[in-house]
Amino acid sequence: MTRRGIEWLSAAADDPATCRARWKDDPRAPHTFSTGRHFDVVAVDQRTGMEVFDQLRRREMPLGPAMADMGARQVGFFLAPGSRQRFERVLDRETENGPVPAFKYLGAGSCVVAPGPLPLAGDRYQWLAAPAHRPEASPLRVVALAVMLVAAARLIERINRYGEQYPTHEAAAREELAEARPDAG
């Protein structure tokens, strides 16, 4: 995390000076932040969140800070404060013919525990994309996150169905071979 990222994130703390002093002593230390003032957070299960994160990165779509809570097995995506209506509107449009993926929207009145500036690999809280500066309040990030969340949830649902239908790769191969053989007759 850059110095500007530390300044932005610590400014969201109830006591920014205490937060920065704590991080100076222990840059790995997670900290609790109120959401809704400097940022909102969309939290999803880890499997879906990692797929969303990977797809946003690979497709070079707008992505702000993102973190993982390995203990709770969740991923959190930071958005500009007050993004809830746009996020839910895009999510509704993308899920008109299907289920809405599970998520928690943390806005005003909520809080989130975020990693310190320099977490280590085994720490519970990890940055997937640490804040490097004050993130822009881009509506494109909100849209990209909502669209990719729906796509990732559908992909994982298909993978799960495939895993139930074909519990092993041998089962999938047997069915494929049986369909490929011409009938003897």
What DSSP string describes 112-126?
A: EEE--SS--TTSSEE
Note the pLDDT tens digit of each residue in 57-100: 999 999 999 999 999 999 999 999 999 999 999 999 998 877 88
Does the pLDDT value for residue 184 go beyond 50? no
Q: Is the pLDDT of residue 154 over 50?
A: yes
Percent of all residues in the chain with a pLDDT value above 90, rounded to a whole number: 72
- Burial of 77: CB neighbours in 10 Å, binned 0-12, 13-18, 19+: buried
pLDDT tens column, 89-115: 999 999 887 788 999 999 999 999 999
Greater confidence (113 vs 185) lies with 113
* pLDDT in the model for residue 117: 96
Kindly report, residue by residue over 129-150, the tens digit of the pLDDT: 999 887 777 889 999 999 999 9
Stretch 14-39: mean pLDDT: 95
Cross-strand bridge partners of residue 163: none
Q: In angstroms, rounded to a whole number, what is the distance separating the alpha carbons of residues 148 and 56?
A: 7
Q: What span, in angstroms and rounded, lies between the C-alpha atoms of 171 and 153?
A: 25
**Which pLDDT belongs to residue 172?**
64
Interatomic CA distance for residues 51 and 149, integer angstroms: 8
Residue 168 or residue 153, greater confidence:
153
pTM, to two decimals:
0.85
Q: What is the pLDDT of residue 185?
A: 47
Buried/exposed code over 102-141 (b: 16+ C-beta within 10 A; e: otherwise): ebebbbeeeebebbbbebeeebebbbbbbbeeebeeeeeb
| Tokens found for residue 30 | 């997670």
Tokens representing 137 are 């309040």
Percent of the chain with pLDDT over 70: 92
Q: Is pLDDT above 90 for 162?
A: no
Residues 6 or more apart from 154 whose CB is under 8 A from it?
Answer: 98
